[in-house]
C-alpha cells in the first residue's frame, strides 16, 4: 500500500472539569484518550461511533484546531504537533474540513463567491481575477452553476449548501479533507448525491479523506478502512468490507445491529445496544464497553484491552480475541 499521509499516535484530548468556589480542576473529560491510526494517500478512512465518543475532537485535535493534550501527528512527513503558529497556518492549506451543518458553517452575510474565495485570500493564492475565475470553476466542479457566485447561502437548499462548503474546501487544493458527518444533516434523498460527489472528487483530484460518521452503513461503501471509536478510544480498525462482513468487537457488532440495513446479505449477530454511552469524565474500569457488553467477564472489568492485530489488517481491542 502507499505510504501514510497522516499518522496519528497516542492522541489525547482531556478537558479539565472545574469545581468549587476556587474553580480548581477536579477531573477531566477524556474526550480522546489515546487514539492511533494512519491514513494512506488516496484512501478514505472512516471514523465511526455513537454521539460523544470523540470523533469530532479527534478530527479537530489532529489538525490542532484544538490543542491536543498529548500525542504526535505526522502529516506528509511533518510533525504537526511540533509546528509553530506560522508553519501551522501554512499547513492548514493542505488539510481542509467539511462540516456537518451546511446552514451554520457558511457565513450568511457573504456571497457564495466570497465564501469560496476566502481561503484563497487567507493563503494568498492568485490574483483577484484568477480567484474569481477559480470560484466559477469550483462551482461547476461541485455541480452548481457558476452564476450562483453572487447569491447568498440562504437562497440554497441543504444539499446545495454542502456543495458550496465542499467547493470552499477544494479552493486551496488540499491533500487531506476531514469530513465531519458531511451528509448526516441532509435529506436522505440528497445524501447519496453528496456522497457520490465526494467520491468523484476523490478520484479526480487524488484526495485523501478522513470521513467521520455515526454509523457504519454511512461509510461502508465510501471508506477503504474504518476505525470504530468508543469513549475516546479506537476499539476496532479494519478494511471497510471486512469490518462490515465480519465485525469482531461486540461494540461494532452492536453498532451494525442497531441500524436497519436494507441489505439482504447482511446477517446481524450482535445484540442491539443497551443503555447509553458512559460519562467520559468517569469511564468504566477495564474495558470501557464492559457495562454494555453481553460477553463481559471479570477480566474485562479489571483490565483494559489494547488494540491488537488479530488478523491481517484487522485490529481489535477486546479480550475475546486475546
Ligand atoms: N469544549 C469541550 N469541553 C468539555 N467537554 C467537551 C468539549 N468538547 C467536547 N467535549 C466532550 O468530549 C466528548 C467527545 O465529544 P465529540 O464532540 O468529539 O464527540 P463526537 O463523537 O463527535 O459526537 P457527535 O457524534 O455527537 O458529533 C463528549 O463527551 C463531549 O461532551
Ligand atoms: Mg461530532
How confident is the model over 60-75, as pLDDT tens digits? Answer: 999 999 999 999 999 9
Res. 261: pLDDT tops 90: no
Res. 1: pLDDT tops 60: no
The vertex-16 CA angle with 211 and 181, nearest 5°, equals 15
Q: Which residue has the higher pLDDT, 322 or 172?
A: 172
pLDDT digits (tens, 9 = 90+) for 183-192: 988 888 899 9
Q: Does the beta carbon of 97 lie inside 6 Å of ligand 1?
A: no
Average pLDDT score over residue span 160-182: 95
Q: Does the beta carbon of 56 lie inside 6 Å of ligand 1?
A: yes
Is 143 inside any structural domain? Answer: no
Mark residue 42 as left, alpha or beta (left: phi above 0; alpha: psi -120 to 50; beta: remaining). left
What residue owns the CA closest to ligand 1's atom 7? 15
Q: Does the beta carbon of 47 lie inside 6 Å of ligand 1?
A: no
Res. 225: pLDDT tops 80: yes
Is 221 inside any structural domain? Answer: yes
Is 115 inside any structural domain? Answer: no
* C-alpha 296, offset from chain centre: 29
pLDDT (0 to 100) of residue 270: 56
253 CA → ligand 1 middle, Å? 23
Query: What Å distances lie between residue 73 and 35, 82, 122, 251, 267, CA to CA?
Result: 11, 9, 24, 27, 37
Q: Which residue has the higher pLDDT, 33 or 260?
A: 33
What residue owns the CA closest to ligand 1's atom 18? 54
* C-alpha 197, offset from chain centre: 18
Place of cell 458527518: 181
Is 33 inside any structural domain? Answer: yes
15 CA → ligand 1 middle, Å? 10
Q: What is the CATH number of the domain that holds 281?
A: 3.40.50.300
pLDDT (0 to 100) of residue 157: 93
Q: Does the beta carbon of 250 lie inside 6 Å of ligand 1?
A: no
What residue owns the CA closest to ligand 1's atom 24? 51
Q: Does the beta carbon of 28 lie inside 6 Å of ligand 1?
A: no
Which range of residues forms the domain containing residue 231? 4-94+174-321
Res. 38: pLDDT tops 90: yes
Q: Does the beta carbon of 29 lie inside 6 Å of ligand 1?
A: yes
Is 196 inside any structural domain? Answer: yes
Place of cell 466542479: 141
DSSP 8-state symbol, 77: T
Q: Which pLDDT band holds residue 3 (cuts at 50, 70, 90)?
A: confident
Q: Provide the domain count of the chain.
A: 1
Res. 252: pLDDT tops 90: yes
CB–CB of 289/307 below 8 Å? no
Number of residues that this document lists for the chain: 322
> What cell numbers appear for 6 in the block?
497522516
Sort 244 into a burial class: Cβ within 10 Å, 0-12 / 13-18 / 19+: buried
Is 118 inside any structural domain? Answer: no
> What cell numbers appear for 21 in the block?
468556589
280 CA → ligand 1 middle, Å? 9
For 82, list phi and psi in degrees, rounded to 5: -100, 0
* C-alpha 238, offset from chain centre: 16
Cα–Cα distance, 153 to 314 (Å, whole number): 43
Is 216 inside any structural domain? Answer: yes
Helices (H), 25-76: 55-62
> What cell numbers appear for 228 in the block?
470504530
Ligand number nearest to the C-alpha of 281 = 1
91 CA → ligand 2 middle, Å? 23
Q: Does the beta carbon of 54 lie inside 6 Å of ligand 1?
A: yes
Is 278 inside any structural domain? Answer: yes
Average pLDDT score over residue span 131-140: 97
Average pLDDT score over residue span 169-177: 96
pLDDT (0 to 100) of residue 303: 97
62 CA → ligand 1 middle, Å? 15
Amino acid at each position: 500500500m502507499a505510504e501514510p499521509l497522516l499518522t496519528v499516535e497516542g492522541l489525547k484530548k482531556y478537558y479539565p472539569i472545574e469545581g468549587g468556589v476556587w474553580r480548581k480542576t477536579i477531573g477531566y473529560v477524556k474526550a480522546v484518550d489515546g487514539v492511533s491510526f494512519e491514513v494512506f494517500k488516496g484512501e478514505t478512512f472512516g471514523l465511526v461511533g455513537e454521539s460523544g465518543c470523540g470523533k469530532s475532537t479527534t478530527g479537530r485535535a489532529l489538525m490542532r484546531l484544538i490543542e491536543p493534550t498529548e500525542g504526535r501527528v505526522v502529516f506528509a512527513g511533518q510533525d504537526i504537533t511540533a509546528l509553530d503558529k506560522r508553519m501551522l497556518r501554512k499547513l492548514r492549506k493542505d488539510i481542509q474540513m467539511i462540516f456537518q451543518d451546511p446552514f451554520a458553517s457558511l457565513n450568511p452575510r457573504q456571497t457564495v463567491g466570497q465564501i469560496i474565495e476566502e481561503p484563497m485570500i487567507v493563503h494568498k493564492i492568485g490574483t483577484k481575477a484568477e480567484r474569481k475565475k477559480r470560484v466559477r470553476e469550483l462551482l461547476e466542479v461541485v455541480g452548481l452553476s457558476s452564476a450562483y457566485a453572487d447569491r447568498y447561502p440562504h437562497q440554497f437548499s441543504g444539499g446545495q449548501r454542502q456543495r458550496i462548503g465542499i467547493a470552499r474546501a477544494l479552493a486551496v487544493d488540499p491533500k487531506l479533507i476531514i469530513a465531519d458527518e458531511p451528509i448526516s444533516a441532509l435529506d436522505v434523498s440528497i445524501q447519496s448525491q453528496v456522497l457520490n460527489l465526494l467520491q468523484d472528487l476523490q478520484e479526480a483530484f487524488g484526495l485523501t479523506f478522513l470521513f467521520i460518521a455515526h454509523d457504519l452503513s454511512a461509510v461502508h461503501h465510501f471508506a477503504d478502512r474504518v476505525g470504530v471509536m468508543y469513549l475516546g478510544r479506537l476499539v476496532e480498525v479494519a478494511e471497510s468490507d471486512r469490518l462490515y462482513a465480519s465485525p469482531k468487537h461486540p461494540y461494532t457488532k452492536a453498532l451494525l445491529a442497531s441500524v436497519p440495513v436494507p441489505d439482504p446479505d447482511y446477517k446481524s449477530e450482535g445484540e442491539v445496544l443497551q443503555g447509553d454511552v458512559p460519562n467520559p469524565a468517569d469511564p468504566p474500569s477495564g474495558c470501557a464497553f464492559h457495562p454494555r457488553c453481553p460477553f463481559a467477564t471479570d477480566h474485562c472489568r479489571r483490565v483494559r484491552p489494547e488494540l491488537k492485530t488479530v488478523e491481517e489488517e484487522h485490529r481489535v481491542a477486546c479480550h475475546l480475541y486475546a
